[in-house]
Amino acid sequence: MPNLQQRDPFAVWWNGRAREAGFENAEALAAAFALPRYRLAQIYRAATKELAPGYDAITVLPADLRERLRTALKWSSLVVEREATSKDGQTTKFLFALADGKEVEAVLMRHRGGRTTACISSQAGCALKCDFCATGQGGFFRNMTALEIFDQAVHVARRARQEKLSLTNLVFMGMGEPFLNYDAVMDSVALLNDGQGFNLGARHITISTAGVVTGIERFAGEGIQINLAISLHAPDDTLRTSLMPINKKWPIATLVGAVKSYVAATNRKVFYEYLMLAGVNDRPEDARQLADLLGGPLHHVNLIPYNATDAPYRCADPATMRRFQSILRERGVPSTIRHTMGDDIAAACGQLRVESSRKESKAASA
């Protein structure tokens, strides 16, 4: 199993493009088009570093080659089906179609402090069936390829550039469970991180997992500076299992134990995500139990306002969230209350796809 240092982004990109066009690999493609290595490098650079809109824009290539490439090779694995921007202008959500028609989502977030974050998907659908999550309700379709994952970031970065913004951060918090598509996700990270290409620093990338312990263990051995976030959402097994069925396989003690080993091995801070669900996990005793669980160095809790979906949950009110936070603070657990972004455009995980299929079924029944 290769670790990140051994993953070659250039090869990932070209092998991916070749396979999409029906070739066995990059070598077969390069032979068919008589492309020397420097041409491959020019194209890779245009796509990943310069964020060119298409083959036609690569003016260093002869016109006839551009034409041949345009008709034979994809420039992106994704087609944009929908784009929606929140009223406050901070959040833009994209619904993409993959080649087989499966839909995935990404989000561009313009933060007040100047950061610009892309949130991207790692799978079409999700198998984990978290009770509060719109993606989970829709079921699992398939893993995304490294190039499909990466092309979301390229699209979001190109869109941001129209406003003279450049991406500063990227999170794997869209559809899917990154650690159940481990190799493709790590290959996409190699692409994101490539100094000759997209060039987003590892410390600006965060992978969020629902608690796939085997993935956390493997990730601890990568020797990279990517941030790790754990979707915890409940301080005890009964509640967590009712919200997140994955907790049956890897209960809290196992999960937190794996995270502590990760911290010990890497000396890196871990972020625990905790959705604030009114009357479900937002009581003072939940905060106390959470604090007891998380003792030790290098952890931070993000308290996340819940974006309403069809699931029967509401977001905790602001006063409850502040009280929850103060209990954590008294017990020495650092935390941040995240502010909601894009709730008017259904920016919660999987919601745009749900809206889109709802519109389709309306159209079909009309």
**Interaction site with ligand SAH (CB under 6 A):** 132-133, 173, 177, 208-210, 231, 273, 275, 304, 306-307, 309, 348-349
Among candidate residues 24, 67, 105, 355, the one labeled active-site is 105
The reply to whether 126 belongs to the active site is no
> Counting beta carbons within 10 angstroms of the beta carbon of residue 33, is it exposed (0 to 12), middle (13 to 18) or buried (19 or more)?
middle
The reply to whether 119 belongs to the active site is no
Residue pair 187/146 in contact (Cβ under 8 Å)? The answer is: yes
DSSP 195: T
Which tokens sit at 116? 């610009």
- Minimum separation from the CB atom of position 132 to ligand SAH (A): 6
- Minimum separation from the CB atom of position 180 to ligand SAH (A): 8
> Counting beta carbons within 10 angstroms of the beta carbon of residue 59, is it exposed (0 to 12), middle (13 to 18) or buried (19 or more)?
exposed
Which tokens sit at 209? 């997992």
The DSSP string of 33-81 is TT--HHHHHHHHHHHHTS--SSGGG-TTS-HHHHHHHHHHS-S-S-EEE
Task: Tell me the H-state helices in 127-181.
Answer: 134-138, 146-161
Closest CA to 275 of 303, 294, 256, 299: 303
Nearer to ligand SAH, 197 or 350 (CB): 350
Q: Which amino acid is at 1?
A: M
Residue pair 53/158 in contact (Cβ under 8 Å)? The answer is: yes
DSSP three-state, residue 273: strand
Nearer to ligand SAH, 103 or 273 (CB): 273
Nearer to ligand SAH, 69 or 126 (CB): 126
Among candidate residues 126, 130, 133, 349, the one labeled active-site is 349
Nearer to ligand SAH, 40 or 349 (CB): 349
For residue 227, what are the contacts with CB-CB under 8 A and spacing of at least 6? 203, 205, 206, 207, 268, 269, 271
- Minimum separation from the CB atom of position 103 to ligand SAH (A): 16
- Minimum separation from the CB atom of position 218 to ligand SAH (A): 16
- Minimum separation from the CB atom of position 312 to ligand SAH (A): 12
Nearer to ligand SAH, 74 or 245 (CB): 245
Catalytically active residues, by annotation: 105, 349
